[in-house]
Each structure stands twice: as structure tokens, then as C-alpha cells.
A and B are shown apart, each in its own frame.
Chain A
Amino acid sequence: MAHSVRRDAPELPDFSLLKRLARDQLIYLLEQLPGRKDLFIEADLMSPLDRIANVTTLKQHDVDKLYKVEHKPIVSTSDQMVRGCFLYPLTNWFLFPDVVNADKAFGRFRRYKIIFSPQKFYACENLLEEQGIFGDVTTDEWSFYLLPLDDDIISLELPEFFRDYFLEGDQRWVRTAGSALHLLHSVYGPFSKVYGIGRCSKMAYESWREQVEEGEQRARQAEIGNVFLIDRDVDLVTPLCSQVVYEGLVDDIFRIKCGCVEFCPDVTSSDKSIKVMLNSQDKVFNEIRNEHFSQVFGFLSQKARNLQTAYDKRSGMNIKQMKTFVSEELKGLKQEHRLLSLHIGASESMMKKKTKQDFQELLKTEHSLLEGFEIRECISYIEEHINRQVSMVESMRLLCLLSLTENGLLPKDYRSLKAQFLQSYGIEHLLTFSNLKQLGLLVEQQPGETLTVMESRVGKLVNDKTAGKLTDAFSSLAKKSNFRALGRRLNLVPKSDEEYDLRVPRDMAYIFSGAYIPLSCKLIEQVLERDGWTGLEEVTRMLNGHEFAVTDARVKTDSQRIILVMFLGGCTFSEISALRFLGREKGIKFIVVTTAITNSARLLESMLDNHA
């Protein structure tokens, strides 16, 4: 990193322990069925499982064959079956009773065990009972809550959390989040302070406290100081913006899955695609992951030159030096070389996709939306975007961004844009729009309360404070985003006329080319600075409240500067980058716990209703 780093940043706790815990429990569960067995795994669980226990480990514990659960009849010869099932309600899961009943019809005796992860729900047992096979299977729970993706990222791998909680109002994962927090607390706690904002955060916090009170408490050295809980719906703008930080961009384009990305052939410049783990172990990646994309190429070419020099050292060497070079450095260099060429390939491919004219325009539109500038032009750009059928998700993203930043669309625009969209992508999106509306992502301004108009008019008459209050009064009428007001109060959108030097970022806005500081991260910064919510009353009111700050006076800890941030509903790589930046500036370390890594595409795809 080019910029200054505070030297006194604390060390992060070791999270590989979580993996070990999960693995041990899984093995224990497998050993409960002695003898050879087949293991059927829900597709969603495949990659997380691979990170916990690979095939060799499973084979060591008498797992004969591994199957991915699909919509196909299950053929297995083993006497025992273990099912790793991820979630209820599962579509594939319903196949299972058929297997049992088929076996019964053939008079075949097998032992079945269903392992639910991370939680067994009452409904699961209920269903087994309804299917009449409750007595034939044993069920178990693999409480695998937390998957450490990197040194500072832990994921609950619950991508459905966002839809289930925020759209469907289904609270079943809240307890899971509470349990995850409980696990972290019991291994790395006790935490001295807990801040949070959002209804779900509050419920997760309460669920966790309940579990703490039920269990016994041990006094131990705290490795994590403070905790910050945040609901995704507090800040929906940030995940909808195009990511331009390297790691975020890789996620947007190639989709990082469980910390692993598959680079297609045109990146690898060979005829097969390669799976690459993206984490801090990858030296090259570690240095560019948080960089703005425009800087990455320069860095990579510098790196390539350095590598060349390192290789070139060989020429002037005597035999002995050569020997040490080969034994010590060469392997590292080779490895670095391989990674470097991969990342250069990836950058090139991204460059090709993104530096085209339309991407620049897209970014420009996004930035104008964030700034609240030239809205008419933006709307016509979006219209054109829809008409030309560039990309369904992208169009939807822009629509949502427009609605969020403008506090809803004018009825005329709302209708015409929606009609255009339906004509382009089919009427089934009527349901999608209804979902978006319910979530407040894409709404219509109610006639008579066009907020921006009202606000500006009132704002001229009275001072800012009353205007803020009026805004609140409006916001209580409907679920609304007060993006503009928030932006002004928290100074989220830096003045556009200044040049922003992306090489030396001065604030978190660099992750969006200096156009916008992510609201979520800004909130965290503010709360940590103020040590609570005092002075942020208006902000929280605009965010629909539910903020809390709890201090555990009993806990005295020196790990105050290790802060765990838990995103309920997912977070983006850009936000993680922003927090890393903030951490470097303030000399603290952030640990990000999220229900899943998300981005605009994942967020919006979860809103589609065609998967039913």
C-alpha cells in the first residue's frame, strides 16, 4: 500500500479454530453411523463443506461416495445414507421421502440419517412425519454457523437471509445469527461494547444475550473488543452501486463463491478455466484487492518488472548463489509469477468489459444519481438502457438506485419506466416490482407529498432542523429512504468539482472513485468515533431507528481496537475494502461477519420471483 499505515494495528484473532470446531462436529456426526456410507449433499452446501472437510477427510471417515442432490432419482448401493441438508424449505429435500419409500417398496433395508445445517427446524420433522417416514430416519444438526473466508471475513453462508428476512418477514434466521454471535462470543469474547442499528440487529442481539444467559460463563481473555451490528436495509444504496475496487469488481464480473473464483479461459489464456482461491494467502491479490481498479494495472506492471529483475539476478550468479536461489527463492517467484499472470489476465478481461464507452456512462449516471444532479438525463439514460435491453439486472439496479436516491419515482416516471421494463423483459417482472416495492427499493412518490419538492420549499422558509423534522414526519408515512438528507448530514457525497486522487485516497469514498462514501461504513466510523449514538439522533431517525449501544461494564479488555462488524443481510467486497481502509487510518482492525457476501446482482436476483 502506498499510503501511510499506522504501525500499532492490533493482531487479528485466529479464526481457523472455527473451521476445526465445525470439522470435528461433522466427523462426530458421521461416526455416529459406523460403517461405510454414502453422503448426499445439497448443492448449496458443496463449496462450504469443501472448505471445512475435503474429500480425503470424508473418505477417512468411511464415506464411500459423495453425491450432489439434484432432481434425479438417487441411486446408491451403500447400506447407509447420510444426507447433508442445508435448509428448509428445500425443493430438493422433498425427494428424500421418495427414496425411503422406494426402498421400502423393494423391501430393502438401509439406514438413513439427515443432517441439517446449520439448524434443524421443527418444520423439517413435521414434514418427515407427514410423509410417514419419521421413524425410518434419524436426524441431526450440524451447527456449522461460521465459515472463515479470510483472515478478517467470516460468512454465515446464508444468501437467502436477505430475501427471507427483509422481504418475506421470515425471522427464522435471526436465531441462527444470534447463535453465530454466541459462538464467536464464547470463543473470542467477551465483548465489551455492542452497537447496532436495525430491527434484525436488535433481535439477533437479544437472541444472543438470551443464549449467553442460559449457558455458563467463563472468564477468559477477550480477543474481540467491540461489536457492531447492522441491518442491510439500513443502507441499500451501497450494494447497488457498481463496484470499482479490484476484489469487488472480480466479484461483480466473475462471481466469487465461498472465497473461490473460477477464471474463464479468456483470462487464463489457456483452454480450460482455473479455480483460484482469493484470500490473503495470495500475495499478489492481497496487495491489489483493496485498490481502485484504475490503479491495479500500474501496480501489476510494476510488480511484473520487479519479478523480472528478480529473475534477472540469476545471470550474474556463481554456482553457490544459484543453488540458494533455486532452493529458496525460485519457488516463491514461480508461484508469484503464476498468480501475477492470472491477475493480469483477469484485469485485462475486466478492462475489456468495463472501459467501454457504456461503462463510463453508466458510472457517470450512477454518480449523478448519488449527487442528485441532472436527474432528467439520468432517467432518459435508464430508459435507453431498458429499451436497448443491455442487461435486465443492470436496468433494475439503476431503477432502484434512482428510487432510493430520489425518495421514490414520480408517478409518471414510475409508470412509464415500469411499462418499458415489462415490455423488455416480460410481464413476470410485475411480481418482481411488487417485491421491490414491498422492500422499499423501488417505490412511487405518493401524489401530494413529493418529498424533494416539499423539502426544498420548506427548507427555504425555515431552518434546517425543522426541515429535518418534517422529513421525518413524511418518512414515517411510508418506508422511505432519506438518502439526500442523510448524504448532507453525514457528508456522504464529496463535492464533485474537486479532483480526487485515487492513488492516495483520503477517505472511504475512493472505493467509488471518490463519488460516494458508503453509508454503512460511515455510520460505523461515526459511532465508533462518538462511542455511541449521541449526536446522531437525526440520522437514526431517518434510518427508522432501532439503534442501540450496550456496554458491558464488567469486561475490561485491551482488545478494544479489534472490532467485529456483523452485516445482517450481506455485505459487499467494496464495503470490506472501505472498512479496511478505515482500519488502517485509525489503527484498528475490523472483522467482518456477514450472512453472505453480496453484490448488486445477487441482491436483485434474490428479488426475482421466477424461481418458485
Chain B
Amino acid sequence: MWASLASHLAYHVTTVINSVCVCVCVCVCVCVCVCVCVCVCVYRKIELYEMGWSLRDGLKECLVAAAPYGGPIALLRQPQRPSSSARPQLEIYSSSGANMASFPWKSGPVRQLGWTVCDDLLCIQEDGTVLIYDLFGAFKRHFSMGNEVVQNQVLEAKVFHSPYGTGVAIVTGASRFTLATNIDDLKLRRLPEVPGLQGAPSCWVVLTQDRQTKVLLANGVDLYILDNTSCTPVVRQTQTTYSLLCLIILALSPLTVCVFQTPPGLSPQACSIVNMAVSFSYKYLALFTDSGHLWMGSANLKDKLSEVDTKVRTPPKQMVWCRRPKSQQPSVVIMWDRLLLVAGECTDTIQYTLDEESVCVAELDGVRIIGGSRHELLQEVPSACQDIFKIASMAPGALLLEAHKEYEKSSQKADEYLREIKEQSVLGEAVRQCVEAAGYEHEPETQKTLLRAASFGKCFLSNYPPEPFVSMCRDLKVLNSVREYTVGIPLTHTQYKQMTVQVLIDRLVYRKLYPLAIEICRYLKTPEYQGVSRVLKHWACCKVQQKEEPDESIAHAVSVKLGEAAGISYSEIAARAYECGRTELAIKLLEFEPRSGEQVPLLLKMKRSQLALSKAIESGDTDLVYTVVTYLKNEMNRGDFFMTLRNQPVALSLYRQFCKHQEQDTLKDLFNQDDDHQELGNFYVKASYKEKKLEARLSLLQSAVDEYNKAKNEFAAKATEEEMKLLRFQRRLDEEKGEALLGLSLQETLHALLTSNFHKQAEQLYRDFRVPDKRYWWLKLTALAEKDDWEEMEKFAKSKKSPIGYLPFVEVCVKQHNKYEAKKYVSKVTPEQKVKAHLAIGDLEGAAEAAIERRSEGEISTVLSRCSPTTDRALLERLNRARSTAAKK
């Protein structure tokens, strides 16, 4: 046991030494806090890259901005000899120092550089204009921070990130602050005045708290909180009076909920605050005073975490928080010209000397230090790594690593180590530690060693879930490939998890590293829609911007590459081509779009409305057709619009439907345009029915007649003319006799006249309108029967030979329950209908007679079927006999 421990210790000495080249565990800081517990924080500084750039003077005289999450670095280098002709040079590098863009700065003097969350470069100029460039130095757009700024100039500016996106805050020469929380949805907010502030404040930060963006600023001794509505001084007094004053603040500004208080426990001897820093998560705040004291606490100024006397009185160049998400240790990195200092909870600090001009970049889990020749990461050593690599560590992970080491050497000591772990039954924990630690390591060899050890330990566990191990292997493979020098994205595992694969893919795409992005998608088996297809789409979007290549070859290349991928939206690619002014290419690309509906909006944008219309119709989506039609209606002049519709029956009918309900007059114009006289005629007829006044109605009908004539529809023209004639006739009669006839049909008019005893007028109508005899007879017959005018009916029957025969007379009478009258006409009925007539009046015998006389088998049967048991036996026999004789024939 002791022997093994000794060798274990010896091993650790060697590992630590070995790993110096990889991870430099430079300092062990043991700090004793006020409380009883003893905390141990270990920091390490890892070299990420040796910078590939060749800067003559390092970062001297440069405006530098580096994006978090291993983002790109922008440099604005002032010219060597300050002269009016020399322009500063703007350069963009990847984190490894590979040049991505470089161009002379031709715009106005720049105050501040910054990166947005989606890797766009913001250049904030003195006059308040903010220019946005992409990663490759291509100008995207610009916006202004307000008119007021133009005169007063920007003194200082800060770019900040919040859940709402990237924001910009400036302070002007008039000592006023202006904020824009999200540059993609620009809303400028001018913050209230700060009392007594002249020029720029000594230091300030932007805070995002409770969904509000505020500015915390220090002006010499005073601290202020600026929010949308008010400027609240943070009172620095001794503890005793603090609560009282707080009350006063409350009374003064009842609207502001007073969450800001004096930073508790800030040393009274400190006079003014010269620098401040807010943590990555906006949870913590650090203040540096001119007395060299560093106060650390929560960002709401309620709690103090610690206070350290740095013993350096010069104001620092930069101050950033350096802590990992779940760490309990507050720690701030402060940078002076030649000195880098890590201050934590204890009074002791760690100091590094800097041999070159550097810039600190706050990260989620550490600080990156970018210098002229090196790029380093300073972070608190994660506990898993500490446990494993700490000298003389007896942590399960450390033992497992050792066991594996021995196993590799084929030594039986491996078994001893394993037993030891197993005895404590912490093998699971050991594997977990190794896997976790592998994630924190940057050197692939170390990662491998740890993972091998984990895999070795896993063999002795029966039910250890494989997922953490597998996913860690995958993550590391992805991370190592993006940390690659040529790619230059030095992400840590923690950052990667926070950032998500989606975003990483986006960033790779943005850097035009399409093959790598596709490889990663395939490796991680990301669904095509979100993965490969999306990358390919971006690739195509980039491809169409290559101005030198001809349309044909680009379209071909795109279709070949994208052919098989699922869920590609060609319309988006085409939209991009159109944005670059390549309309022809856009149209070519749209041809590949399988969903015609998707093509429409872009075609409309490109003013290819005809094509858009036919595509919309092709899609079968009437909503889309309607969209195009409405668009065309507003865009084109009427004539062209109608002409367009004319060639598209589907759209035309849709528009007609719309007009029918909404714009009757347009409908008329539409028919006019088409010379569709038939429809125009119909239109007027329809309109005439809505018209109450007779004159108007007649004139509408006259228009209809004209149209029908033009349409060579003589029938309709004549019918309409007759209607006009009828209307006039009805009016005359209404005026003369007071009958309400207007609007009735001819039949109804006649009927009304006949029932009201206007036989002469009816007669006239009958002649004028050439009403067929049959109809007139039917009409008169029923009218007379209805008012029981039997006398008139008899006269009518005798007036001339009935064109409808006399059976109807019989039937009408029967219908009016007048069998007596009915009988009068039976004799007049033609022989063929005699049987029916007799049956109608219920005269069975007569019917039988007639039927027998006619020797018709069918008729005899009809009569027979009407016979009931009460019928005369003799009659029945006669009928049956007659039927059989008829049948024989």
C-alpha cells in the first residue's frame, strides 16, 4: 500500500512536470477567508496559439476588439507617422492570427470597435455613426446614434451583449449617455442627465438586470445608476446612516425601485473609483479605487464578496472577471502595462509579468489574453482536473488514471489500483471524473490519456451509461477540429455547450468553412434540415455572390451540389442572388425550386409579376394567386393589369369573384376590357334588379340590350326588350288601375290580370308578347277555376277549339272539387283521353265504356286497377272479357 502510494506520488511529480508545456499550473493560491472554511483556487494559463500575424509594433497604438467565444479579432492601426494623408488600417484576424481582411480605413475617426453576437464588426465613429462590417471586411450597413452626437462627438463607447442581442452605449461630449439595446431593432434611448458630470465619467459599465439595461458610472467619488427614467446616486456613507439615506432616495423617486445601495463595506479610505468591470453573466461587479483597492460584489451592490488591496495605485488598463459558471470563487484579472494580476477572495494575488502589449477578453469560463505573439487562456482549473492532476491526489479519477498507466505498461500494479478504487466503490465516480477532466483539457494527447483511462475503468462497471463518454468523445473531436490553427476558434468545452452546435455551425458557415461544417454535421448526425442542407444553402448563397463566374456555371454548380440534399430552399438562394443584382441567375435558380409557392414572393420582388402569377397558379394555392393579384392591382395601371389577367383564367376568375363581392364597377371595366358583351349584358341585367327606380332600371336594361346585340345574342336582346316592354306595360296598368304588377313575370302578370277580370288587357298582352296559345289557355283556365268563374269558363271553352284539348278543363274542375262542371267537358275530350277524363270525375262506368270501345288493353287494365270490391260485378266481367279479346288481337 505504501509502496504504491509512493510511486503514485512520484508519478504525479512527473505528470505535473510533463504537463507544464501543456497546462501551466503556475500558482497555487491558498487564501483564508473571514469564514472558517479554507478555499483553494488554482489558476492555469494555457497557450492557445502562437499568433500567425506579423505585427511590427505588437498591439501598440492599436484599437483592438476581440469577440468572445473564440471569435475574431479586429485591429485598427494608427498610421506610423501622423499625417493627414495617411489612413489607419483596419485588419481582421482569426483567433490564431490568420488574416481574414485588411483594408485602409477611409471613414471618420473611430472611437471603439466591437463585435456583435453574430460575428459582425461594429465600428463606432466619433460622430456617432456606427458602421457594420462582416467578418471579411465587407460593408453591411450603418446607423447613427442620434443627431445630438454629431455636434458633441462620442467620447467613449461600449458594445455589450444581452439576451436581446448586441447593444451599443455611448457617452457624448455633453456628458449624456445614449443606449441602443439591440442594433438589429434600433431604438435609441437617451438617458437622463447625470448631475455634476463634466466630460466623460472616470469609468462606467452597462448592466442588464431585470430585463432592463442600465448604466453604472463613477464620477470621481460618486457612483450613479442611470436607467430609462432616472439617475440615482449611490450614496457612499458609513453603515449607520446608510439605511436612512436609502429611505430618502425612496422618497425622492418613488417610481424607481431602489435596488441599488452603497457597495457594502467599501473601504472608507478609498476616494474615487477608477475602473469597474461587470462579469460575463452581469451578476458580479468589481470596482477598482485609486487607493489600489479592489471591491468585488454582486452587481446589484447588495452583497460584498471580498475586498483586496492590490497595492498598485496606478489605474489599470483593463479589468475583467475571470470565473467559471459554477465556481464559488470571485476572481478578477487586472491588467497594467507590464503586469497581470489575478485577485480572488483572499488577500494574496497572483501576478504575471507581461512582456508585451496585451488585451484581455472576458469569456464565460476564463479570460483570453491576446498579445503580439501569443494567445493565452487564463482560467481557474476545474475541480475535476485539480482532483486528477493535483500532487498526491487520492481522488478516484487520479487512481484510475494511474491504474490505466500501469495497465499500459502491463504491470500488475494496475490491478492494485483498481482494487483500491473498487474497495471504496468509487469506480463510477472515477470514470466520470476522467471523462469530465478530458473535456477541460486542450491538448489532444492529455484528452486521449484521460479518455482511455475512463474507457479502461468502464470495463469493470456493468451498468455505467455509455452516453456521457460517447458524447464527450464526439464533442472533443469537434472541438479539436475547430481549435485547429487554420480554423482558429479556441472554444472550451463549457463555451461549446453554452453556444450549442447550431451556433457553432453557423459561425463556421459565416467563416465560409463549409466543408468543415458539413463534416461536423455529418459526424454529429444532425438532421439534414438543420445540418447539411443548411450549410449547403449558405454555401450556395455565397457562391452566387461570386461575380466573376457566369450565371450558367453557377446555376449548374449549385444544382449539382444541392441536388440530393433534403429541404433546400432554392428561393432563398435566389433571393440572395437577386440582392447581388443577378436577376437572371436568380430566375435560373428559382427553376430548381420544387415548390412553386416559394418562388412567388421573390419573383414579385424582382418585378417578374407575370412569372409570379403563373407560378402562383401552378402552386394551386389560391391565397398566393390572390396575393399576386392584389400586388399587381396596386403596381400596374389598369389596362395592363386587365391584360395580364386575361391571359390567366384562374387569376381572372378569382379576381372576378372578388369584384363580384367588393367592386361591382371594376367588374364592369373588366368585361369592357375583354369586349365580353355577353357578360356585360348579364351584368346590366343583374344591376337592373337591384335598382328600385323604374327609369334607371329601364336604362340599365337598355344597356343590356345593346350589349347583347353586340354579343350577337339576339335571343337575350329580344328577351330583355320584351322585359322592358312588359315593365312599361305594368307601369301603365299600375297607374291606371292601381294594380301592383310591377316586377312580376309575364305569366304572373297575366294571371293577375285574369283573376282581376282585366280580360281585355290580358288579351292584349297575349297578343303583344305572342304568348303561345297553349300557355294562354292553361293560364286562363286555371285563373278562371281559381275564382270559380264557371260561366266565363264555359264561354271560354266554347270560344274556339282548345289547343290543349279538354281534358285539362276536366282536371281543373275536379281540382276545384266541382265535378258538376267537370262533367260538362268530358264529352268534348278526345277519344284517346276519354278514359282518363271519366276516371278523373270518378265515373267508372263511363271510363269502362270508353276503354272497351277503344279496345285498348292498357286502358282497360287502368280502369280495372281502379275498380274496388264494391264495383258492379257485371262491369268487371265485361272489362275482363274486353281485355282478353284486346289481348288476343
Binding site for B on A (CB under 8 A): 89, 91, 121-123, 126, 164, 168-172, 174-175, 178, 203, 206-207, 210, 383-384, 387-389, 415, 418-420, 422-428, 430-431, 434, 609-610, 612
Contact = CB atoms under 8 A, between A and B. Distances in A.
Interface in B570-621: 595, 620-621
B784 to A, nearest CB: 15
Contacts of B769: 423
Given A169-B649, A422-B719, A427-B719, A434 B622 contact: no
B654 A170 contact: yes
B682 interface: yes
Residue from A207, A387, A610, A612 with most neighbouring chain B CB atoms (10 Å): A387
A423 B682 contact: no
Contacts of B352: none
B772 A387 contact: yes
A169 B630 CA distance: 18
Contacts of B626: 121-123, 126
A175 B686 contact: no
A420 B620 CA distance: 42
A426 B748 CA distance: 9
B653 interface: yes
B842 to A, nearest CB: 14
B696 interface: no
B689 A610 contact: yes
B812 to A, nearest CB: 10
Contacts of A164: 657
Given A170-B654, A210-B595, A423 B622 contact: no
Interface in B678-719: 678, 682, 685-686, 689, 715-716, 719
Given A171-B620, A175-B622, A387-B778, A427 B723 contact: yes
A171 B660 contact: no
A222 B549 CA distance: 51
Nearest to B652: A169
Contact of A423 (B627, B686, B715, B746): B746
A387 B685 contact: no
Nearest to A384: B774
Ordered nearest first, which 7 A-B pairs have the shortest CB separation?
A169-B653, A426-B745, A172-B622, A89-B661, A427-B723, A122-B623, A387-B775
Contact of A168 (B595, B621, B657, B774): B657
5 contacts: A126-B630, A175-B622, A387-B779, A423-B745, A612-B660
Nearest to A428: B689
Contacts of A121: 622-623, 626
B627 A122 contact: yes
Interface in B612-668: 620-627, 630, 649-650, 653-654, 656-658, 660-662
A609 B679 CA distance: 13
Contacts of B623: 121-123, 172
Nearest to B774: A387
A353 to B, nearest CB: 15
A174 B745 contact: no
Contacts of A168: 653, 656-657
Contact of B620 (A122, A174, A424): A174
B771 interface: yes
A171 B657 contact: no
Contacts of A170: 622, 653-654, 657
B14 interface: no
A430 B719 contact: yes
Contacts of A430: 682, 685, 716, 719-720
Given A431-B685, A434-B678, A423 B775 contact: yes
A172 B656 CA distance: 13
Contact of A420 (B653, B722, B748, B775): B775
B673 interface: no
A424 B625 CA distance: 42
A171 B719 CA distance: 33
Interface string B739-758: 00000111110000000000
B156 to A, nearest CB: 41
B379 to A, nearest CB: 43
A419 B770 CA distance: 11
Contacts of A431: 682, 685-686
Contacts of A207: 620
Nearest to B704: A430
A502 to B, nearest CB: 18
Given A423-B746, A431-B685, A418 B715 contact: yes
Contacts of B661: 89, 91
Nearest to A164: B657
Interface in B260-317: none
Given A172-B623, A178-B620, 8 more contacts: A121-B622, A121-B626, A171-B625, A203-B620, A387-B772, A415-B715, A418-B715, A434-B716
Nearest to B775: A387
A383 B778 CA distance: 12
Contacts of B649: 169
A427 B720 contact: yes
B620 A175 contact: yes
A168 B624 CA distance: 18
Contact of B747 (A171, A418, A425, A434): A425
Contacts of B745: 422-427
Given A89-B662, A121-B622, A384-B774, A389 B747 contact: yes
A428 B697 CA distance: 13
Given A171-B622, A174-B620, A434-B678, A420 B657 contact: no
A386 B621 CA distance: 43
A96 B453 CA distance: 73
A604 B720 CA distance: 23
Residue from A206, A418, A423 with most neighbouring chain B CB atoms (10 Å): A423
B835 to A, nearest CB: 13
B621 A175 contact: yes
Contact of B657 (A89, A126, A609): A89
Contacts of A123: 623, 626, 658
Contacts of A427: 685, 719-720, 722-723, 745
Residue from B624, B661, B662 with most neighbouring chain A CB atoms (10 Å): B661
A326 B54 CA distance: 105
Contacts of B746: 422-424
Contacts of B719: 418-419, 422, 427, 430
Nearest to A207: B620
A423 B776 CA distance: 11
Contacts of A422: 719, 745-746
Nearest to A414: B715
Contacts of B620: 171, 174-175, 178, 203, 206-207, 210
Contacts of A425: 745, 747
A38 B620 CA distance: 36
Given A123-B658, A418-B715, A422-B719, A428 B685 contact: yes
Nearest to B751: A389
Residue from A91, A206, A420 with most neighbouring chain B CB atoms (10 Å): A420
A612 B747 contact: no
B661 to A, nearest CB: 4
A89 B658 contact: yes
Nearest to A418: B715
Contacts of B658: 89, 123
B779 to A, nearest CB: 8
Contacts of A178: 620
A431 B625 CA distance: 28
Given A423-B746, A431-B686, A172 B662 contact: no
Nearest to B839: A357
Contacts of B720: 427, 430
Contacts of A415: 715
A260 B668 CA distance: 42
A121 B654 CA distance: 13
B569 to A, nearest CB: 12
A123 B778 CA distance: 51
A81 to B, nearest CB: 23
B711 to A, nearest CB: 11
